């Protein structure tokens, strides 16, 4: 016969406390089983949510990577067009280009002096 905090001298004389103790122990065991099942279900749900989030993040990353590559190509083409147009303008108007560069240099020198 095992002793616990519910076990007293009176329980030895009559079985009511023993029956009460047995009932509580059965309830505790049932609660442990239910808690273990709940823990298993929560773990399963967490894994499912984690997999779902990982899949969404992967898809978002692939889309972001694709967009950034497209944007980079677009910027490179824009830079090439701008550089080509600037060369054409400099070749067509060399004196105006020199004048604009001189004016820009004077403005920078004036601002730097202050």
Q: How far is CA 49 from CA 44, 60, 81, in A?
A: 9, 16, 48
pTM comes to 0.44
DSSP category for residue 15: S
pLDDT tens profile 100-113: 999 999 999 999 98
CA distance 76 to 84: 12
Residues in the chain: 114
At 14, give phi and psi (nearest 5°). Answer: -130, 160
pLDDT tens profile 45-95: 888 888 889 888 888 999 999 999 999 999 999 999 999 999 999 999 999
């Amino acid at each position: 016969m095992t002793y616990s905090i519910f076990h007293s001298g009176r329980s030895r004389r009559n079985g009511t406390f023993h029956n009460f103790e047995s009932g509580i122990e059965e309830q505790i065991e049932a609660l442990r089983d239910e808690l273990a099942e709940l823990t298993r279900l929560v773990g399963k749900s967490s894994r499912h949510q984690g997999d779902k989030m990982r899949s969404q993040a992967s898809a978002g990353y692939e889309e972001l990577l694709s967009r950034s590559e497209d944007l980079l190509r677009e910027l490179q083409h824009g830079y090439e067009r701008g550089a080509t147009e600037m060369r054409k303008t400099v070749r067509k108007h060399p004196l105006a280009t020199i004048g604009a560069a001189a004016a820009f240099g004077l403005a920078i020198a004036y601002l730097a002096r202050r």
